[in-house]
Amino acid sequence: MRFFDPHIHVTSRTTDDLENMAAAGVRAVIEPAFWVGQPRTTLGAFTDYFSSLIGWERFRASQFGISHYCAIGLNSKEANNEGLAREVLEIVPRFALKEGVVAIGEIGFDEITAAEEFAYTEQVQFARQNDMVVMVHSPHRDKKRGIVRSLEIARDLGFPMEKLVIDHNNEETVEDTLEFGAWAAFTIYPHTKMGSERMCEIVKKYGPERLIVDSSADWGVSDPLSVPKTAKLMLERGLSPEAVELTTWQNALDAYAQSGQIDVEALLQKPPIDQTQLYADNSVLRGQAPRVEAVPN
Ligand SMILES: [Zn+2]
């Protein structure tokens, strides 16, 4: 099977992870811009981070046969550093319209503050004006209130719900997200929060339409193989192959291909790996022998 993990912070993962993901069938990923675990103190830190998502990380994933797309945005946590946040909001447009950027994200609420609301509103407006998809992060605490607020703000701004992906849903929020007409994504964590078993129950209860499974794997305890593992469990729990395909491949593709940045036809073929390639004179090889796969005729 082939999988699309539409939310993973691969910059924090190793080449072993990329190899294991490719071997498990992960064909494409989306890496949304987010918080790096400690607050950034300068605008330059954001500039370099955004350029790495568009440049080096896209190249690095390609070296293991994975198509890499990204989302650009100011995350909710750092929206609370209001001075720096305003500077970041000014540079978001410079990166958001580049090749391989499929959405504005991940943006939304963390502590549900006025500063977060300001940054979210500004970025949803930018996305609407530029006909972009938005990937919404939802808070760990007070999740339902955060999600409903994100949905209401987007609706009140006239943002098209079919371009809104609400992430980190759970049993308490899935109905709100679906009722508003947005896509409902679920992050599958290895030990807590949403697990694969719970995901199976949600797909059984609501059906696979507009539901999306992702890993959100990052620098914390998380699993870059969450999507293939959940797919396997869904099949074992009696869900149809069609439901698994929709929730672990097609729905994410349909949502984010609206950006016009995904060559859907090309994605159906696994790209041959060529590790002799360089990005800005740098390779992933560290002096080791490159892997080169034959180009299919
Ligand atoms: Zn994330």
**Taking the domains of the chain in order of start, what are their residue ranges?**
3-294
Please state whether the predicted TM-score (pTM) of the whole model is above 0.75.
Answer: yes
CA of 184 to the centre of ligand 1 (A): 15
What is the CATH architecture assignment of 3-294? Alpha-Beta Barrel (3.20)
Residue 29 near residue 67, CB atoms below 8 Å: yes
Contacting residues for 199 by C-beta, under 8 A, at least 6 apart:
186, 188, 213, 230, 233, 234
CA of 278 to the centre of ligand 1 (A): 28
CA of 297 to the centre of ligand 1 (A): 38
pLDDT digits (tens, 9 = 90+) for 91-146: 999 999 999 999 999 999 999 999 999 999 999 999 999 999 999 999 989 999 99
* Rounded alpha-carbon distances, angstroms, from residue 194 to 12, 46, 185, 188, 209: 21, 30, 11, 5, 19
99 burial type by CB count under 10 A (0-12 exposed, 13-18 middle, 19+ buried):
exposed
Cα–Cα distance measured from residue 59 to residue 292, given in angstroms and rounded to the nearest whole number: 15
pLDDT digits (tens, 9 = 90+) for 19-34: 999 999 999 999 999 9
CA of 294 to the centre of ligand 1 (A): 34
Cα–Cα distance measured from residue 145 to residue 118, given in angstroms and rounded to the nearest whole number: 17
CA of 140 to the centre of ligand 1 (A): 12
Residue 143 near residue 172, CB atoms below 8 Å: yes
Residue 119 near residue 79, CB atoms below 8 Å: yes
CA of 34 to the centre of ligand 1 (A): 6
CA of 223 to the centre of ligand 1 (A): 13
Cα–Cα distance measured from residue 8 to residue 218, given in angstroms and rounded to the nearest whole number: 7
CA of 117 to the centre of ligand 1 (A): 18
CA of 174 to the centre of ligand 1 (A): 18
Backbone angles phi, psi at 137, to 5 degrees: -85, 145
CA of 240 to the centre of ligand 1 (A): 28
Average pLDDT, 10 consecutive residues per value, the chain (297 residues): 96 96 97 96 98 97 96 98 98 97 97 98 98 96 96 98 97 97 94 81 97 95 95 95 98 97 90 90 88 83
Chain mean position to CA 186: 11
**Listed residue (100, 77, 92) closest to 127, CA to CA:** 92
CA of 216 to the centre of ligand 1 (A): 5
